[in-house]
Amino acid sequence: MKLKTIINAVDALNELQQKELPIEESFKVVNIIQQIEPHFNNYSEQREKLMRKYGNTEDRINYTIKNVNVAKYLQEIEPLENLDIEIKLEKIKLNKDISIKAVHLRQLLDFVELKEGAE
């Protein structure tokens, strides 16, 4: 699985973690989060280094990449985002009646499947 897929799913997995799910599915959510957390943290560190290298900040929290540096930033961040990361993935089975934002469902497509026969 590409690191970018994992990074994009973090918020959605955190939202899913807040849902009332059957215990087995909750276990799968927590297991996935525990597996991807080190990769997400490492990515965040590397991304922050690049933001400091190529960007400007006034508050040391929010960075803006200078226009002249966008290509350089993308040249370094894209290979990182395209790294293949191995995780042991047992898809989370969701009932069709679960309430979740469409944007989060899209981010979770590689991690979930709908239960057969669920109404």
What integer pLDDT is reported at residue 39 of this predicted model? 97
Q: Would you say 15 and 106 are in contact if contact means Cβ atoms under 8 Å apart?
A: no
> Distances from the Cα of 118 to the Cαs of 13, 25, 67, 101, 115, in angstroms?
21, 14, 50, 19, 5
- pLDDT tens over the chain, length 119 residues: 999 999 999 999 999 999 999 999 999 999 999 999 999 999 999 999 999 899 888 787 788 898 999 999 999 999 999 999 999 999 999 988 888 889 998 999 999 998 875 44
